[in-house]
Structure 1
Amino acid sequence: MKYVLFYAAAPDAPRTAPAHFPAHQVLLDEFHGRGDLLMVGTFTDLVGRGAMAIFTNAEAAEEFAARDPFVAHGVVASHEVCEWNEVLA
């Protein structure tokens, strides 16, 4: 079982994200370094589709969102954590 964190980007995310990206990157590195974050990325249509990250456990996904500067500063309009049954690994 994996856990996917979906982010819905705020309409002005392309303009506001760069200011908060360095702090966001620090958080990405922390969670990846401790083995909780497996993959992360934006969809090509950032405003329409947002971004997603795959975590090893729900607690890490929720903690990431709670600490993410993108969430705190409104780059992310909403987020959701979903259980994901990985079939091919």
Structure 2
Amino acid sequence: MKTVIFYENRADATMEQFMEVYPRHQENEEKFVKAGKVLGIGPFSVPGEGAMGIFVDRESAEDFVKNDPFVQEGLVAKVTMREWHDELL
């Protein structure tokens, strides 16, 4: 079952802090994209509102979060993970 993650940024985290960590975050992201484990990922359109990603399964989503430098460096205040039934209507 696909899994969606939602990141809420730490309220006092600056764009400069995110950009400093971004190259390592991007390496982690690219690893999952190349392995076909992430279907879509990125920030929300309003800066500072966080981000989301859609993964092929919960294990992949959990592994991504565990290895994400944004999380490891404390820039993300909250991670919400939800399993998703992606039925077409």
Q: TM-score, normalised by structure 2?
A: 0.89
Per the alignment, in what secondary structure is the counterpart of residue 7 of structure 1? strand
Give the aligned partner of residue 22 of structure 1.
23
- 4+ long deviations beyond 6 Å: none
Give the C-alpha shift of residue 71 in structure 1. Answer: 0.2
May I ask how many residue pairs the two structures share in their alignment?
A: 87
Structure having the larger proportion of residues in helix: 1
Long gaps (5+) in structure 1: none
Aligned to 2:2: 2
Letter in 2 for 1:14: M
Percent identical across equivalent pairs?
Answer: 37
Partner of 2:53: 53
User: How far does residue 15 in structure 1 lie from its aligned partner after superposition?
Assistant: 2.9
Displacement after TM superposition at 1:85 (Å): 1.5
The alpha-carbon deviation at position 27 of structure 1 amounts to 0.5
Normalized against structure 1, the TM-score is what?
A: 0.89
Q: SS of 1:4's equivalent?
A: strand
RMSD: 1.2
d(CA) in 1 for partners of 2:22, 2:14? 11
Contact 1:13 1:76 in 2 (8 A): no
Task: Compute the displacement of 1:13 (Å).
Answer: 4.1
